[in-house]
Each structure stands twice: as C-alpha cells, then as structure tokens.
Chain A
Amino acid sequence: MIRFTWMQFRVQALVAFGGLMIAAIVLTLTGPHLVHLYDTTVAHCSAHGDCSAATSSLISSGDKLGIVLKVVVEVVPALIGLFWGAPLVARELETGTYRLAWAQVTRTSWMGVKLGLLGLASMVVVGVLSLMVTWWSSPLDRVRMTPFTSFDQRDLVPVGYAAFAFVVGATAGVLIRRTLPAMATALGGFVAVRLAVAHFGRPRLIAPLQVVVRNTTIAAGSSAGTSDPRDWIISDQTINAKGQVIGQFGEIGPSGSTTVSAGIHGITIKGAGSCHDLHSQTPQNVQRCVDQLRIRDLLTYQPISHYWALQWTELAIFLGAAVILSGFCLWWVRHRLA
C-alpha cells in the first residue's frame, strides 16, 4: 500500500519538491548577502556609533523577500490542507475509485498509509521550508529583536500547522465526500483554529510573567518595557497606588490620552489625583507627581526564555490534534463510510 500511495502521490510530491528547490535557490543566493551585511556593518556598529543606520539598512535590504517568505510560510500549510488533505479521500469517493482500491486492500491500511505517508510528507516539506526561512532570516531577526512577532513562521510550529492542516483537509473530505466543499471547509477550519490558538491560546499556554515598572509615559511619552526587548508584552496596564487598573499602555482611562493640568492645587493628573507641592508643569515635576501618586505599569509578558517552551507546546497541540483527527478519520472510514 505504501508503494501504491507513493505512486498516486508522486506528482504532488514533485510539485512540492520543485517548490522547495526554488525556495532553496532563492534563499541561498540572497541569504549569504544578509549574513555578510550583518558581519560587516551591524557587528561593528557600536564601535562606529552608527547602529541605527546599520540596522535599518540591513532590515530594508531584507524587507521585500522577508514579506514574501512570511506569506509563503503562513500559506503553505493551508495549501497542503487544500490540495493534499481535502482531495485525499473525497476525490476517490467522487470518482468511485475507492471501489477499485477497497477490493484489493483493507480500508484500514488504505486510510492509515495515506494519512501516515502524506502527513509525514507535509511535515517534512514545511519543516524544511521553516528551517531555510529561519536560517535566512536569522541576521534580520537578530537586529529586529522581536522573535515573537515572527513566532509562527519560524522554527518548529509550522510543522505542527502543516500536519494539522493536512489532517483537517482529509477529515473534511471523509465527512463531506466532495472535493470542493471539503477544500472550503478545510481552509475555514484550519484558519479558524490557527487564529484562535495564536490569539487566545499562545499568551496563556505557559503562565505569563508579570512585572510592575515605573510609568514614564505620562511625563515623557516613552512606553514602558521589560528588561529584555525581545520579551512579548501581552498586556500593559496602568495601575494606581491601590493596585487598581486605571488605564492601558501607560495612559489613564480608556481613551488612551492623559490630561495633566497645573493650578492652585498643584499638578493634577486626571483620574489619578493631585500633587499639592508641585506647581509648575515641567516634565520633571510631572514625573515626580506620577511617582508620588504611585502610578505604575503592570506588564504581563512572555519572557524570551519561554520562546522554545512555547514553540514546543504549540507544536505539541497541533500535532496532538492531528493525531486525534487521524484516529477519527480511520474509525470513520472503517465503520461509517459507504
């Protein structure tokens, strides 16, 4: 059955291999240039004192292809779900060829081998792609210092997305029995789960840390951060002396801007209180008042040290879901189909 599945799958495999080859060629042609640029400019910039110019020139030289790669890594798992997963069973049901296959081979091994082989291929293709893109982007990622913004296009998680997208497609095909509606359903299902995990799951997969920092937004307009710029700040709440939340992003109130006024009662920060001993509204005095009133920022964040744990956890979630769905597919094909 493995050899037969491979025979059926050869064309798709060839397309995927071709795609990977193109990506490999493009990336090996352009990647060394970025590494060279990093080594010759950014690596020594602190000595020359031109770090911001060096980093921005590096980022801009990798920008266009970077965006393309971002899209490619995001889209390829969905394509696998659409073109490998959804037709896997639906097309055989549509064209009636399952009646040819099932007269030669038990449907358990038929479904099992198809899911196993193509599932594995999906993971390998996206795994290799992710590896290449991660390597290519590493100089850019190092200067950007925001690994969590490219979290789902790097390292391990794309492999989980690919496996999951493929199995979602296959399951949709098994249940709906028609290729086109199965493709649509697979796309919808995959995107929904993917977004839900990214937005609601990832911030809480591992308990985030919290830290209270000095508020500098009201006086200086500069937002607070954690000690490491690579940390992923999930929420930034402004709290008062009693620890109550009185605003967001260093500001007071939901509107996002803070009203500070000076008068005979001293400096008044609307919604927080007044500082009677401070009279003229200078930035220093405002900062002093902020500190006096104990207005601070409560940051909830995933530290950079959680990056790999989060990668592994999210990978495990998607792979686990793929395994469970595969089991369901097998059961359905054995007991419920036709």
Chain B
Amino acid sequence: MTTAIETTSLGKYYGRRRALQDCTLAIPDGRVVGLVGPNGAGKTTLLHLAVGLLAPTSGTISVLGGRPGGPAQLDRVGFVAQDTPAYAGLSVSQHLRMGSYLNKNWDQALAESRIAQLDLDPRQKAGSLSGGQRAQLALTLAVAKRPELLLLDEPVASLDPLARREFLQSLMEIVAKDGVSVVLSSHQISDLERVCDYLVILVASKVRLSGEVSELLASHWRLSGPRREASTLPSDQAVVDESHTEKQSTFLVRTNQPILDPAWNVKPVTLEDLVLAYLSNPRLPERVRSPGLGVVR
C-alpha cells in the first residue's frame, strides 16, 4: 500500500503545549480519506505538518514518500487551509495569476473553466466573496496546481448547508475526473459520509479507528434486546458503545461474524452513529483483533 501520509511518533509542541504527541499512522493513497476527531485531537496540526507549514518537534512524517516542505514537494500537494484564506485585496483572476506564478504544473484552463462554472466574476475582489465562493476559490487554486494529493482542513466548517453541498459536489467531480487522492478533515460526519471512502478517527493524537467506510459499516451493528452485561457477549463481538435502561440494553459492536443470538434486534449503523460511538468511548475495542480491519495502535 502506498501512503498519502505516514508518520512515526510524530510530535509538535509549542513550548509545553502539545498539539500532537507520539502520533503514528498511515493514511492510504488513492482514496478520499475523511479525518475526524474532536477539537484538539491534532487534525489541523497533522495537516499543517503534512503540507510543511509546520516542522515536527519529534518523529518523522512522509507525504507521498517525500519530506514535506521542499519546492518539489509543494508542487505535489494541494492544500485548502481552514477558513479558506484568500488575499482580500486581490481579485479572483489575480489569485489565478498567483497560482500560475507560483506553481510549476499550473493548469490555467482548468482554473478558468472552474471559475466560469462557479459563476464567479474574475474581477471581483476576494474580500467581497461569500464564504462559499471563497472556499470554492481556494479549492480551485489547490486543484489547478495539479497535485497528486489534496489536503483539506475543515473546508466546509463555516459554510451554510447549500454552499457546503456545492463545495463537496465540486470536490467529488474533481476526484472522479482526476483521480487525485484526498485527505479531508471535518466535523460534519454526514458530509464525510457523502464523499469519503476511507475513514480515520483521531483522538488525542492517536488513531482510534481507521478503515474503508464500506468495511466499517459492514462490521458494526447496533444490537438491542433484554438487559444484559457486556461481558456476556460472545468473544468475537467487540463492544464499542453500550447503554442500558432498566430492562433493555443497546450495544454497538464490531464483529466479522454473523450475529446469531435471536434475542437481539440487529440494525446496521450509520457512519455518524459509528463515529460518535468511537468518539464518546475513547478506548480501543479490547476483545477483537481481526487482521483485516486495520486497527492501528
């Protein structure tokens, strides 16, 4: 497996504050990867380290097999930063010119056709664009440099639902057309569900869960039935989340085996259920270690 981002005991400290600590992970190449995690988990720090905006305090990081930050590496990686910054005093077309000045593989035709498709006025100053338009401009700049890997740091966080949908629509079109690898961090799990085929959950610098979205959805089930203790479940069912009422128990379990117990009402989970279950139970599933599922410690 080639990796988009691979880190070994990666750490970034600001004085005594630890933004990222002892992070070891491998994010696969050739996919649309969703990076989820609570605030402060280190998502932005990880992406900044991957672009080369930050230098690691400890450990190593390689992106597409190269070290972040060099001029050659910059051409291979497109980045859309959080809040999608743009130069308020420069127009849309000036931003495109900036892209053409600074990037070796710049595709002006692609950039212009995207701007036209978005119905943006090239003469308009970026400072007067709406949040959604600015995000689209930032995406255009990142895409038209023809990168091998596109990193997006919560690009839709501040957008209204319509702009968010349009942005993700654009992203999906780009992925479908160019086959570019994408790593996208977001709080919006429903958005990730729409665009991502691979999921990495990061909690406190550690990978809590990572895997193909389809596999994850196929191996997690919500069981509800008469009240019982988690310890009484079969050993091949790892309990991720549990809740109990006086008479009833609900478990979210992970298993590769069919669930045979007829007492259970078995339901599939949504990605949102799954992510929330893992985020609210910040420990690793203890009882299942199936090789195919890629739980990275």
Contact = CB atoms under 8 A, between A and B. Distances in A.
Contacts of A335: 55
A212 to B, nearest CB: 62
Given A105-B74, A106-B69, A106-B70, A100 B85 contact: yes
A74 to B, nearest CB: 29
B87 A104 contact: no
Interface string A76-119: 00000000000000000001110111111110010000000000
B5 to A, nearest CB: 15
A11 B125 CA distance: 14
Contacts of A8: 87, 89-90
A101 B102 CA distance: 9
Nearest to B106: A104
A95 B88 contact: yes
Nearest to B138: A100
A95 B83 CA distance: 10
B85 A103 contact: no
Given A1-B102, A4-B98, A100-B81, A106 B87 contact: no
Contacts of B98: 4, 7, 104
Contact of A104 (B54, B74, B86, B97): B74
Interface string B195-236: 000000000000000000000000000000000000000000
B41 interface: no
Given A8-B90, A104-B99, A104-B145, A95 B85 contact: yes
B69 A103 contact: no
A96 B85 contact: yes
Given A7-B90, A99-B85, A105 B53 contact: no
B142 interface: yes
A96 B101 contact: no
A96 B138 CA distance: 13
A99 B99 contact: no
A101 B71 CA distance: 12
B66 interface: no
A109 B102 CA distance: 11
B132 interface: no
A97 B103 CA distance: 17
A99 B74 CA distance: 12
A10 to B, nearest CB: 10
B253 to A, nearest CB: 41
B81 A1 contact: no
Contacts of B36: none
Which bracket fits the contact residues of B?
A: 20 to 34
Contacts of B52: 102
Interface in B42-67: 48, 51-55
Nearest to A106: B71
A105 B145 CA distance: 12
B53 to A, nearest CB: 5
A3 interface: yes
B141 interface: yes
Nearest to A109: B71
B170 interface: no
Contact of A103 (B70, B77, B88): B77
B34 interface: no
Contact of B79 (A1, A11, A99): A99
Most chain A CB inside 10 Å of its own CB: which residue of B70, B77, B89: B89
A99 B89 contact: no
A5 to B, nearest CB: 9
A104 B87 CA distance: 14
B54 A338 contact: yes
Contact of B74 (A7, A11, A96, A106): A106
Interface string B73-113: 01001110111011111100010011101110000000000
25 contacts: A1-B102, A3-B97, A3-B101, A4-B98, A4-B102, A7-B94, A7-B97, A8-B87, A8-B89, A8-B90, A95-B85, A95-B88, A96-B81, A96-B82, A96-B83, A97-B86, A97-B87, A99-B53, A99-B79, A99-B85, A100-B138, A103-B51, A104-B99, A106-B71, A338-B48
Interface of A: 1, 3-4, 7-8, 11, 95-97, 99-106, 109, 335, 338
Given A3-B97, A103-B53, 11 more contacts: A4-B102, A95-B85, A96-B83, A100-B141, A101-B102, A102-B52, A103-B78, A103-B79, A103-B81, A103-B142, A106-B70
Listed from nearest, the 4 A-B pairs whose CB atoms lie closest are A99-B81, A103-B79, A96-B85, A104-B102
Interface of B: 48, 51-55, 69-71, 74, 77-79, 81-83, 85-90, 94, 97-99, 101-103, 138, 141-142, 145
